């Protein structure tokens, strides 16, 4: 039995505040993606390096990022490191948490992309006098990024949605945090969260469609 | 044949009339169970004992209410932000969840008369040198998201124009952040502050004074249009005080001077 009178006006009155929150959410997602991609490239180089400690480091990172809940990773970035006396603000904590997660998943995406590139290309590069790193930089990496471009937009969507976990570490300026604050104030739970869901949907849909458009323009063979 | 049809029609009408008239109070009595939303992360109002059994003032209060109704009590653990969804989706019948009866919220749910009143205390990390409510100005402070004190403290930080406010999801997270030094101070109900400082689970924290917020009256809540049930809740709260049960429960879970539930110079 669900009887409840919806008061949409009360929610729409708060739309400007929620849109401000959506901006913060996008800011976190974009930053965490940029940092995540950079770190994932580094981890991929570690994996290809042939050096045991570097490979072990990259593998450990990927294993933890992919096999533990994102909530745990974000929680550790705030309360976990604080037990060693390192304090991050909620914004930095959520950014570190999502970046860590992004880097792990993207490294796996890159691994999949690398499998699609024949080994012989590296060897051809090497035989032309390029070093291992140079052949990665000039031959392999561009193809790898191209192949994994669409999976990357997937991760971007995931990053947007993960920002909602920020409330566990005290975030109240992102879309989810703002919504929760307004909910405490007015108790208009259903209207506010429905509105937040629509905003989340529009953001993520724009990203996937935008990603497809960019891919279509950039990667014409 | 005619008689049977007439009888069937009559039967149909009475059953329709019956369901149309049954309100929440009837539903609870006939179902034999009263489902209470209780926050179990809010000692001493709601918590769990060593065997994971819910205990606390709110738990006892729910049990008393169920006993008065002659039904079984069912404690439904409900975090602060989920109180309204739990009520509206019909998972619980009543909220016994230390809920502040603000006018803004009363637009959405129906409140009984107050059944408890909180005073707010400032708890600070010992390293910060904060010794009063005013001393929090310019510091990083926090409280449990969605509570009366969080709303008031956030407004205060905005008014001060310096410092930072951080809401955490649970009382445990607030005190963890406080003892880690991530928060410099917090405002919570004095009962919660005392319980957590005395628990010894958190180091370097102490209660340093009172917060000058209006007394935080908390009420039972139910669906706004269930007058019969709300009426019953009002009488129940009144009877709890009248029979001395309120004093008894206060002594059992909190101790000290029992807060007055009436506001001077006004009705209700």
**Which is more confidently placed, B129 or A199?**
A199
Using a CB-CB cut-off of 8 Å, the residues of chain A touching B177 are 79, 82, 170
Q: What's the 3-state SS for B221-233?
A: EECCCCHHHHHHH
User: What whole-number percentage of chain A has pLDDT above 70?
Assistant: 98
Tell me the per-residue pLDDT of B186-218, one tens digit each, with 9 for 90 and over.
Answer: 999 888 888 888 888 888 899 998 888 888 899
Beta-strand relationship, B185-189 and B120-125: antiparallel
Using a CB-CB cut-off of 8 Å, the residues of chain B touching A167 are 145, 167, 169
Chain-chain contact of B145 with A184 (C-beta, under 8 angstroms): yes
Query: What is the C-alpha to C-alpha distance for residues B261 and B263, in angstroms, rounded to an integer?
Result: 7
Chain-chain contact of A190 with B88 (C-beta, under 8 angstroms): yes
Query: What is the C-alpha to C-alpha distance for residues B90 and B31, in angstroms, rounded to an integer?
Result: 13
User: What whole-number percentage of chain A has pLDDT above 90?
Assistant: 78
Of A7, A85, A180, nearest to B146 by CB-CB distance is: A180
Query: What is the C-alpha to C-alpha distance for residues A7 and A9, in angstroms, rounded to an integer?
Result: 6
Query: Average pLDDT of A67-75?
Result: 95
Give Cβ neighbours of residue B209 (< 8 Å, ≥ 6 apart): B121, B122, B131, B132, B133
Query: What pTM does this model have?
Result: 0.81
Quick check: B184 and B139 in contact, CB under 8 A? yes
Quick check: A94 and A74 in contact, CB under 8 A? yes
DSSP state of B50: T
Chain-chain contact of B146 with A82 (C-beta, under 8 angstroms): no
Using a CB-CB cut-off of 8 Å, the residues of chain A touching B23 are none
The distance of B12 to chain A (nearest Cα, Å) reads 22
Residue B247 has pLDDT above 80, yes or no: yes
C-beta atoms surrounding A121 within 10 Å: 13
Separation in Å, CA A169 to CA A15, A173, B170, B205, B265: 24, 12, 10, 20, 43
Residue carrying structure tokens 């230390």: B98
Using a CB-CB cut-off of 8 Å, the residues of chain B touching A190 are 85, 88
Query: What is the C-alpha to C-alpha distance for residues B133 and B210, in angstroms, rounded to an integer?
Result: 7
What tokens does B177 get?
């952040």
Burial classification of residue A168, based on how many CB atoms lie within 10 Å of its CB (0-12 exposed, 13-18 middle, 19 or more buried): buried
Query: By three-state DSSP, how is residue B54 classified?
Result: strand
Chain-chain contact of B88 with A168 (C-beta, under 8 angstroms): no
Ranges assigned E (strand) in chain B: 33-38, 47-48, 54-55, 72-77, 94-100, 110-118, 120-125, 140-144, 164-168, 185-189, 205-210, 216-222
Tell me the per-residue pLDDT of B117-131, one tens digit each, with 9 for 90 and over.
Answer: 988 999 999 888 899
Judge if ipTM > 0.90: no
């Amino acid at each position: 039995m669900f009887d409840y009178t919806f008061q949409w006006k009360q929610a729409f009155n708060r739309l400007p505040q929620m849109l401000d929150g959506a901006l913060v959410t996008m800011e976190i997602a974009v930053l965490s993606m940029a940092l995540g991609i950079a770190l994932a490239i580094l981890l991929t180089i570690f994996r290809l390096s042939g050096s045991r400690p570097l490979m072990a480091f990259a593998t450990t990172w990927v294993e933890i990022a992919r096999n533990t809940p994102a909530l745990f990773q974000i929680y550790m970035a705030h309360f976990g490191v604080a037990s060693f006396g390192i304090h991050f603000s909620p914004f930095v904590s959520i950014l570190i948490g999502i970046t860590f997660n992004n880097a792990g998943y993207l490294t796996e995406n890159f691994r999949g992309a690398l499998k699609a590139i024949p080994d012989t290309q590296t060897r051809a590069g090497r035989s032309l006098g390029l070093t291992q790193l140079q052949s990665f930089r000039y031959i392999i990496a561009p193809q790898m990024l191209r192949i994994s471009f669409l999976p990357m937009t997937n991760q971007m969507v995931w990053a947007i949605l993960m920002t909602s976990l920020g409330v566990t570490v005290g975030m109240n300026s992102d879309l989810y945090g703002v919504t929760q604050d307004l909910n405490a104030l007015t108790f208009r739970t259903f209207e506010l969260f429905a509105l937040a869901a629509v905003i989340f949907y529009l953001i993520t849909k724009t990203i996937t469609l935008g990603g497809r458009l960019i891919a279509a323009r950039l990667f014409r063979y | 044949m005619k008689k049977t049809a007439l009888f069937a029609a009559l039967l149909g009408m009475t059953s329709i009339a019956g369901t149309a008239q049954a309100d929440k109070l009837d539903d609870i009595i006939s179902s034999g169970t009263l489902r209470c939303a209780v926050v179990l992360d809010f000692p001493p109002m709601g918590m769990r004992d060593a065997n994971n059994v819910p205990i606390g003032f709110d738990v006892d209060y729910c049990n008393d209410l169920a006993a008065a109704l002659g039904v079984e009590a069912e404690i439904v653990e409900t975090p602060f932000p989920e109180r309204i969804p739990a009520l509206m989706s019909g998972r619980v019948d009543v909220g016994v969840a230390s809920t502040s009866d603000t006018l803004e919220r009363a637009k959405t749910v129906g409140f009984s008369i107050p059944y408890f009143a909180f005073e707010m205390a400032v708890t600070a990390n010992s390293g910060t040198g904060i010794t009063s409510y005013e001393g929090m100005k310019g510091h990083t402070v926090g409280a449990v998201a969605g509570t009366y004190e969080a709303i008031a403290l956030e407004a205060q930080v905005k008014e001060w124009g310096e410092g930072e406010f951080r809401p955490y999801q649970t009382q445990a997270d607030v005190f963890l952040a406080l003892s880690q030094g991530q928060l410099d101070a917090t405002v919570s109900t004095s009962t919660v502050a005392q319980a957590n400082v005395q628990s010894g689970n958190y180091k370097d924290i102490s209660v340093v004074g009172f917060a000058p917020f209006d007394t935080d009256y908390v009420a039972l809540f139910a669906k706004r249009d269930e007058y019969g049930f709300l009426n019953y809740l009002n009488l129940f709260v009144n009877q709890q005080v009248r029979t001395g049960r309120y004093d008894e429960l206060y002594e059992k879970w909190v101790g000290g001077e029992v807060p007055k539930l009436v506001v001077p110079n006004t009705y209700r």
